[in-house]
Amino acid sequence: MGATQLHTVTDIFVLMQQQRHTADYDNSTRWTRIDVIGLIDDVAKAFHRWKSIRDEDLAQDFLIYLLIRDR
C-alpha cells in the first residue's frame, strides 16, 4: 500500500509543478474556480497520503534518493 500512496504523492507533485509552470508562463490558459478547487483538493489528498506513509522505509528511501541523485 505504501508504494501506491507514494506513487500518488509523486504524481500529484509533478502535476502541480506543471500547473505552476503553466500559471506562471502561459497567459492564454484560463483558470476556472472549479479547476483550481480541484487542484487544491489534489494537493490536500497528497498531503494526507504523505502523512500516512512518511515514516515508512519506502518513503524515507525516496527522500534520500532525491537528495543524492545526480542532477
The count of structural domains within the chain is: 1
Residue 55's domain spans which residues? 2-68
> What is the structure's pLDDT at 71?
66
> What three-state secondary structure class fits 55?
coil
pLDDT digits (tens, 9 = 90+) for 2-28: 899 999 999 999 999 999 999 999 999
Sequence-ordered list of residues with C-beta below 8 angstroms from that of 52, at least 6 positions apart, any chain: 5
Task: Please state, in angstroms and rounded to a whole number, the distance separating the CA atoms of residues 38 and 44.
Answer: 10
- Model pTM score: 0.81
Whether the predicted pLDDT of 32 surpasses 80 = yes
Per-residue pLDDT tens digits for 54-63: 999 999 999 9
In this structure, what C-alpha cell is assigned to residue 36? 483550481
